[in-house]
Chains A and B, each alone.
Chain A
Amino acid sequence: MKKFSSLLHNLILTPSRNTKIKLLQDYFKILDINRAYALAILSDQLSFQFIKASKLRELVYEQVDQHLFDYSYDYVGDLAETISLIWPTKKEGKSQNLSTLIENIKKIKKSEINTEFSKILSELSNNERWTLIKICTGGLRIGVSERLVKTVLADLYNKSVNEIEEIWHGLEFPYENLFQWLKNETSKPKIDFKKLFHPMMLANPIDEEKDFKRLNANEFQAEYKWDGIRVQLMVSSKSVSLYSRTGDNISSAFPEIIETTRGDAVIDGELLVGRNFKPSGFNDLQQRLNRKKASKDLQNKFPVFIRAYDILFYKGKDLRKLSLFERRKYLEKFQQENKTNQIDLSFIINFSTWDELTKYKNNFHDDLNEGVMIKLKNSEYLPGRKKGYWYKWKKNPKLVDAILMYAQRGHGKRSSYYSDFTFGVWKESELVPIGKAYSGYTDKELLVLDKFIRNNTINKFGPVREVKKEIILEVAFDDVFPSTRHKSGVAMRFPRIHRIRWDKPTNEVLSIEEFKKEFKIG
């Protein structure tokens, strides 16, 4: 545990990718059960059923005064770090292996969690405690992607990272077959590809200035970028299953897809809500997300369909090495053979110059797409976000000027800065909040805002500071919906700070009525 926690500590503090690689290589020189746990942790595949953030809070409140904890958490901005630092120091116990420690924790009975887990926390050093809590809460945020770990393993054991990537989703803890293959003791693990989620091909944002000069429009095709959730649909004569972009099986939440799909293929597409293949917006889709099951009523109210982008397998044949152009023919064939009301094809936009494509990006009539995707016609289907193949080109966002009302300290990278901003518009002579944003500003702007907030606080509500109503923020957002949950009656999608409007007086900010009118909210 000491080794692993000091690995994490060093990884979080080094900004250099090369140093990170070196640290990981040193650690994975040996492949044993501790490394298997480490791999599971680094790829976010290990969790403890009974020990989540809420349980950890409960435990820490047993140890320290709740208010003192809350003050500290507000300051630190990271739950694992706050708990590890504030936990009363006991005498450090005997150091344990990562694997022994985790296995011991897994053995704890639910009824004994509070005493047993607290005891474990008390016997660890600060840094080990931090590591263990990070493992429990998931999402390490140490600047190491799953991809980087795979790259390190590939380099260290002379394999190609794509080979690892291909079998990755078929591997299971404790990765014996992977480790043996890496050590050249056995051949590459055999994976049943039909049952396996295949990592998706992702796009990079286009750099309008650089890329359009460089890229030849004739070599690319464009499609609309739909605002749903990306899915992978696996169909065979025996079963149909649906996976989210991260590889979670979400079949049970969308029975209408599972029940109607026929054929033998693996399809990549966008899941949308709508009737007759007319998408009705993300707000409607949200009614169907994060549910384990969907009632008949819900299915009727918010029917879903898949807009297919791509095909990876057709009748057992792996198409991923073919060009996008070729794959599209297979996709069309699949759709012709298995027509349903739940699958249609993504439309291919005809264009010959980048200028021509601009029209499509910005002026799509019904406002339901997010922009366009630009794909190299002869691109293979490559897992991950490879550069030079697929690009996304988002519409210009919607903009509104609003007044900064409240601020709160941020988390993670922005901890201790006042970086979460609530902003509002006028409602008669008062302000009503319309949203909250914690990104979009530059580092410089953040410093200015942070300073303003510290010097212009007029009220404190716990961690929240109310500030003088002087700063106007230009807020960019993807969309806005009516909402019954918020006082203003609106909810924004992905608001972020576009810039600070030093030039504008607060009385020129819109009223909530004007805001609703401008963005067509009933």
Chain B
Amino acid sequence: MDFINHQLFIKDINVHIDPILPKKTAIITHGHADHARFGHDHVIATRQTIDIMKIRYGDKCAKKFTPLRYGQKYSIKNYDFTLYPAGHILGSAQVLIEKNNHRLVITGDYKVGKDETCKNFKLVKCDTLITEATFGLPIFQHPDPKDEIQKLIRSVKINKNNCHIVGAYALGKAQRVMNLLRQQKYNETIYIHGSLEKLCQYYSKEKINIGKFEKVSSKDKNFYEGKIIIAPPSALKDRWSRRFPNPIICMASGWMTVKQRAKQQGIELPLVISDHSDWNELLDTIKKSKAKNILITHGQEDALVYYCKKQNLVSKPLSIQGRSDEEIE
């Protein structure tokens, strides 16, 4: 595993994984902005991640694209790369790197739980595991997302004169919330913030069931009474949200586990819906991967490092530049 450094850079063959700055060859785990950036020479990713990058940054956001299917091997010199589903968002992947019989997995962002909007996480056994730790504290034990989405549906039923604005990241979370609503038989049109439109259209095209949606427009104010509107979290605090009748501000995020967090952000109806693994899933993945060497990237790494050491695993935190330790998509 000495072949990769703390920036997820393989010097030997000049390959980066999820680099922040433009690079020669970049393997991209998924389309979120803290992983997928504009301006690389060569991007290697799943077809869907490449599509998403093109939607967000334009067709020319990289000079060359190499789409890989899940499970398809791609070799550069004596390094073999394979992508496996990460269950995080549509197109998200873990990266398996094999060299001289050493298997190293970079999980990227991942969740173990079921999700109809993307391929479910696949456990890959390895010698070295580089895992994320966004929710790497034992207080994070995500509830069943169905129960959480029911809270929203109930509140819509009770508060008929209010509209519900749900903060959700434009890529992945927004569509997952829509899909969960459909799973729970909410069949009304869902209204979306303009910045979500292209991505929602893409999800629909990829046959993800997010149902009927429509961009919010300058309709009569009362039109939105009793409706569900989905918007990126940044729009909740913006003037944009003031145009709606008696909005109840909701947020779909794993961070909503902590009441104080919800309160700080002015969230009245927190929905604990996460696209990351919770504490138990992180531990479970570490155990089942059989890896003896655990590196822990962005998030609450201290507790996880401590836990691994107690299990006699070699473990250390890996601080990747450009990723803040909180509020990651």
Q: Kindly state whether residue A416 has any CB partner on chain B within 8 Å.
A: yes
Q: Once the chains bind, are B270 and A13 in contact (CB under 8 Å)?
A: yes
Output the least CB separation between A499 and chain B (Å). Answer: 23
Q: Once the chains bind, are A454 and B268 in contact (CB under 8 Å)?
A: no
Given contact pairs A68-B307, A72-B137, A89-B141, A416 touches B263 in the complex (Cβ within 8 A): no
Q: Kindly state whether residue A85 has any CB partner on chain B within 8 Å.
A: yes
Q: Once the chains bind, are B266 and A82 in contact (CB under 8 Å)?
A: no
Q: Please, which residue of chain A has its CB at the minimum distance from the CB of B269?
A: A13
* B-chain residues with CB within 8 Å of residue A65 when the two chains form the complex: 310
**Stretch from A73-81, A209-217, A377-385, A470-478 forming part of the interface with B:** A73-81
For the complex, give the distance between the alpha carbons of A415 and B262 in Å: 11
Partner of A9, one of B257, B259, B266: B259
For the complex, give the distance between the alpha carbons of A75 and B301 in Å: 12
Q: Once the chains bind, are A14 and B268 in contact (CB under 8 Å)?
A: yes
Given contact pairs A13-B268, A14-B268, A415-B260, A75 touches B137 in the complex (Cβ within 8 A): yes
Q: Once the chains bind, are B303 and A72 in contact (CB under 8 Å)?
A: yes
Q: Once the chains bind, are A454 and B325 in contact (CB under 8 Å)?
A: yes
Q: Kindly state whether residue B324 has any CB partner on chain A within 8 Å.
A: yes
For A68, A82, A413, the residue with the greatest tally of chain B CB atoms inside 10 Å of its CB is A68
Output the least CB separation between A26 and chain B (Å). Answer: 12
Q: Kindly state whether residue A130 has any CB partner on chain B within 8 Å.
A: yes
For the complex, give the distance between the alpha carbons of A71 and B137 in Å: 7
Mask of A182-197 contacts with B, CB within 8 angstroms, 1/0: 0000000000000000
* A-chain residues with CB within 8 Å of residue B303 when the two chains form the complex: 67-68, 71-72
Q: Once the chains bind, are B260 and A413 in contact (CB under 8 Å)?
A: yes
Q: Please, which residue of chain B has its CB at the minimum distance from the CB of A83?
A: B139
Partner of B139, one of A15, A86, A413, A415: A86
Partner of B138, one of A68, A412, A413, A416: A68
Partner of A72, one of B138, B262, B325, B326: B138
Given contact pairs A68-B306, A71-B137, A416 touches B261 in the complex (Cβ within 8 A): yes
Partner of B260, one of A14, A72, A416: A416
Q: Once the chains bind, are B264 and A72 in contact (CB under 8 Å)?
A: no
Partner of A71, one of B141, B260, B270, B306: B306
Q: Please, which residue of chain A has its CB at the minimum distance from the CB of B266?
A: A15
Q: Once the chains bind, are A13 and B263 in contact (CB under 8 Å)?
A: yes
For the complex, give the distance between the alpha carbons of A415 and B325 in Å: 15
Q: Kindly state whether residue B34 has any CB partner on chain A within 8 Å.
A: no
* A-chain residues with CB within 8 Å of residue B140 when the two chains form the complex: 85
For window 252-274 of B, CB contacts with A under 8 Å fall at 257-264, 266-270
Q: Please, which residue of chain A has its CB at the minimum distance from the CB of B258?
A: A76
For the complex, give the distance between the alpha carbons of A213 and B258 in Å: 45
Mask of A45-76 contacts with B, CB within 8 angstroms, 1/0: 00000000000000000001101110110011
Q: Once the chains bind, are B138 and A86 in contact (CB under 8 Å)?
A: yes
* B-chain residues with CB within 8 Å of residue A72 when the two chains form the complex: 137-139, 303
For window 133-186 of A, CB contacts with B under 8 Å fall at none
* A-chain residues with CB within 8 Å of residue B150 when the two chains form the complex: none
Q: Kindly state whether residue A12 has any CB partner on chain B within 8 Å.
A: yes
Q: Once the chains bind, are A130 and B259 in contact (CB under 8 Å)?
A: yes
Q: Please, which residue of chain A has its CB at the minimum distance from the CB of B303?
A: A71
Mask of A1-20 contacts with B, CB within 8 angstroms, 1/0: 00000000100111100000
Output the least CB separation between A213 and chain B (Å). Answer: 32
For the complex, give the distance between the alpha carbons of A454 and B325 in Å: 9
Partner of B257, one of A12, A69, A85: A85
* B-chain residues with CB within 8 Å of residue A71 when the two chains form the complex: 137, 300, 302-303, 306
For window 120-179 of B, CB contacts with A under 8 Å fall at 137-141
For the complex, give the distance between the alpha carbons of A12 and B267 in Å: 10
Mask of A409-433 contacts with B, CB within 8 angstroms, 1/0: 0001101100000000000000000
For the complex, give the distance between the alpha carbons of A348 and B208 in Å: 77
Partner of A85, one of B258, B264, B310, B325: B258
Given contact pairs A68-B307, A71-B303, A454-B324, A12 touches B263 in the complex (Cβ within 8 A): yes
Given contact pairs A72-B137, A82-B139, A12 touches B261 in the complex (Cβ within 8 A): no
Given contact pairs A67-B306, A71-B302, A76 touches B139 in the complex (Cβ within 8 A): yes
Interface size class of A (residues with CB under 8 A): 20 to 34
Mask of A386-427 contacts with B, CB within 8 angstroms, 1/0: 000000000000000000000000001101100000000000
Q: Once the chains bind, are A13 and B259 in contact (CB under 8 Å)?
A: yes
Mask of B63-105 contacts with A, CB within 8 angstroms, 1/0: 0000000000000000000000000000000000000000000
Output the least CB separation between B149 and chain A (Å). Answer: 18
For the complex, give the distance between the alpha carbons of A76 and B303 in Å: 13
* A-chain residues with CB within 8 Å of residue B262 when the two chains form the complex: 13
* B-chain residues with CB within 8 Å of residue A69 when the two chains form the complex: 138
For the complex, give the distance between the alpha carbons of A9 and B137 in Å: 22
Q: Please, which residue of chain A has its CB at the minimum distance from the CB of B260?
A: A415
* A-chain residues with CB within 8 Å of residue B257 when the two chains form the complex: 85
For the complex, give the distance between the alpha carbons of A15 and B266 in Å: 7
For the complex, give the distance between the alpha carbons of A69 and B310 in Å: 15
Q: Once the chains bind, are B260 and A85 in contact (CB under 8 Å)?
A: no
For the complex, give the distance between the alpha carbons of A55 and B280 in Å: 27
Given contact pairs A67-B306, A71-B300, A85 touches B139 in the complex (Cβ within 8 A): yes
Q: Please, which residue of chain A has its CB at the minimum distance from the CB of B302?
A: A71
Output the least CB separation between B20 and chain A (Å). Answer: 15
Output the least CB separation between A25 and chain B (Å). Answer: 16
For the complex, give the distance between the alpha carbons of A85 and B258 in Å: 8
* B-chain residues with CB within 8 Å of residue A82 when the two chains form the complex: 139
* A-chain residues with CB within 8 Å of residue B137 when the two chains form the complex: 68, 71-72, 75
Output the least CB separation between A87 and chain B (Å). Answer: 10
For the complex, give the distance between the alpha carbons of A413 and B266 in Å: 11
For window 84-125 of A, CB contacts with B under 8 Å fall at 85-86, 89
Partner of B259, one of A68, A81, A89: A81
For B138, B269, B310, the residue with the greatest tally of chain A CB atoms inside 10 Å of its CB is B138
For the complex, give the distance between the alpha carbons of A64 and B137 in Å: 12
Mask of B301-329 contacts with A, CB within 8 angstroms, 1/0: 01100110010000000000000111000
* B-chain residues with CB within 8 Å of residue A412 when the two chains form the complex: 260
Output the least CB separation between A308 and chain B (Å). Answer: 42
For A12, A15, A75, A77, the residue with the greatest tally of chain B CB atoms inside 10 Å of its CB is A75
For the complex, give the distance between the alpha carbons of A78 and B261 in Å: 11
Q: Please, which residue of chain A has its CB at the minimum distance from the CB of B143?
A: A126
* B-chain residues with CB within 8 Å of residue A454 when the two chains form the complex: 324-325
For the complex, give the distance between the alpha carbons of A72 and B140 in Å: 9
Mask of B231-261 contacts with A, CB within 8 angstroms, 1/0: 0000000000000000000000000011111
Partner of A78, one of B260, B266, B270: B260
Q: Once the chains bind, are A75 and B139 in contact (CB under 8 Å)?
A: yes
Q: Once the chains bind, are A413 and B264 in contact (CB under 8 Å)?
A: yes
For the complex, give the distance between the alpha carbons of A67 and B270 in Å: 28
For the complex, give the distance between the alpha carbons of A89 and B143 in Å: 11
* B-chain residues with CB within 8 Å of residue A78 when the two chains form the complex: 259-260
20 sample A-B contacts, Cβ–Cβ < 8 Å, listed by A number: A15-B268, A65-B310, A68-B137, A68-B138, A69-B138, A71-B137, A71-B300, A71-B303, A72-B138, A75-B300, A76-B260, A77-B260, A78-B260, A81-B259, A82-B139, A413-B264, A415-B258, A416-B258, A416-B326, A454-B325
Given contacts A12-B263, A13-B259, A76-B139, 6 further A-B contacts (CB under 8 A): A68-B307, A71-B137, A75-B300, A82-B139, A415-B258, A416-B326
Residues of A within 8 A of B (CB): 9, 12-15, 64-65, 67-69, 71-72, 75-78, 81-82, 85-86, 89, 130, 412-413, 415-416, 454
Please provide the 9 A-B residue pairs with the shortest distance between their CB atoms, ordered closest to farther.
A85-B139, A71-B303, A415-B260, A72-B139, A72-B137, A86-B139, A13-B268, A86-B138, A68-B138
